[in-house]
Amino acid sequence: MSMVAYQAPYLLQVMRDDDPLNPREDYDNFGHMVCWHSRYNLGDSHDYEDTNALFQHLVRESVPVDTLLEYMKSGKAESVMLEYDRSQGGWEIKSYDSYFKKWYSEAFFEGSVENNKQEIFDSLVETLLNKDLYALAAEKNLILPLNLYDHGGITMSVSSFLGRAQHAEWDSGQVGWIFATPQDIQKEYGDLSKESYEKAENLLKSEVETYDYYLTGQCYGFRLYENGEETDSCWGFLGSFSDVAKAIAGEALPESHRNMINEFHEVSDTVTRYKEYDDLMEDLEEMEA
């Protein structure tokens, strides 16, 4: 696709960028985008085997030992417990098997919690379910889900596609997470205030939106002619066509000619990237005849 507009002395051509930069590889990003997919290579490069490995890492990096122990004491972890065994004189970690409806011993620590804090912490992190690890990690880290809709092309969103895309119950699902650590937020905004977290969340969503433009092929470039001579060109614009056109007009055209973007004509053949000024003018004349 190529869109062409003419308003003397300018001719502006906007077309798809067939070889765009990958925002997750070629841009400086704030968030960390971690995905798993059997057919697509998505997001950032990482070594996390699965969601559990990611959440374990975030908890280890950001949750104090005492915070985890308080979480266990509160009873929020329904499928894991830490209890004192008087007969053995130590603390036992147990997990609940919902299939067999039984509690099983996972680890035992002789003596007091105080003398075994780090070991108990490590064992609990390895035993807790993802929902508990998420609850703990999300106290300090900003973590958003990544959903993929695969239906004649792929598109990504932090929101579910259920109810807003055809056959989403079969063709969509969660493929990963995008997150920012407290260190990331502190570095970017200078503090860990509520306002900074809100700004960080909006920035993460914006990065997902930018990546989605890349995945869906909404990548463009332009050529500008003045009095028949090419005077400017640039590639790598990501976004909806209307937004890209406005950005290009603001960058490349004088204010008196920015309304040209309201007069685009589509040249639909496959060689428009290689056409020159005279060819494009001829196409416009034919379409306006």
pLDDT in tens, 106-154: 999 999 999 999 999 999 999 999 999 999 999 999 999 999 999 999 9
pLDDT at 88 over 90: yes
Read off the amino acid at residue 127: T
Q: Is 169 exposed, middle or buried (0-12, 13-18, 19+ CB in 10 A)?
A: exposed
Confidence (pTM): 0.92
* pLDDT score at 288: 75
Which SS3 state, helix, strand or coil, does residue 5 take?
A: strand
pLDDT in tens, 22-57: 999 999 999 999 999 999 999 999 999 999 999 999
* pLDDT score at 83: 96
**Section 85-103 average pLDDT:** 96
Question: Are 69 and 94 spatial neighbours (Cβ–Cβ below 8 Å)?
Answer: no
Q: CA-to-CA distance for 220 and 243, rounded, in angstroms?
A: 11
* pLDDT score at 270: 61
* pLDDT score at 274: 77
* pLDDT score at 68: 98
> Tokens representing 253?
């055209």
**Section 9-34 average pLDDT:** 96
> Tokens representing 256?
């008196």
Q: At what angle do helices 65-74 and 117-127 cross, to 10 degrees?
A: 60
217 band by pLDDT with thresholds 50, 70 and 90 = very high
Domain ranges of the chain: 2-20+218-288, 29-50+140-215, 64-137
Distance of CA 129 to the CA centre of its chain: 24
For residue 194, count other CB atoms closer than 10 A to its CB. 8
Question: Are 287 and 18 spatial neighbours (Cβ–Cβ below 8 Å)?
Answer: no
Average confidence score pLDDT of the chain: 95
Q: Is 28 exposed, middle or buried (0-12, 13-18, 19+ CB in 10 A)?
A: exposed
Peptide bond preceding 9 in cis form (omega within 30 of 0): yes
64: CB partners within 8 A, 6+ apart: none
Q: CA-to-CA distance for 243 and 259, rounded, in angstroms?
A: 13
* pLDDT score at 285: 87
* pLDDT score at 287: 82
**Section 67-92 average pLDDT:** 96
Q: CA-to-CA distance for 43 and 123, rounded, in angstroms?
A: 30
pLDDT at 289 over 70: no
pLDDT in tens, 149-177: 999 999 999 999 999 999 999 999 999 99
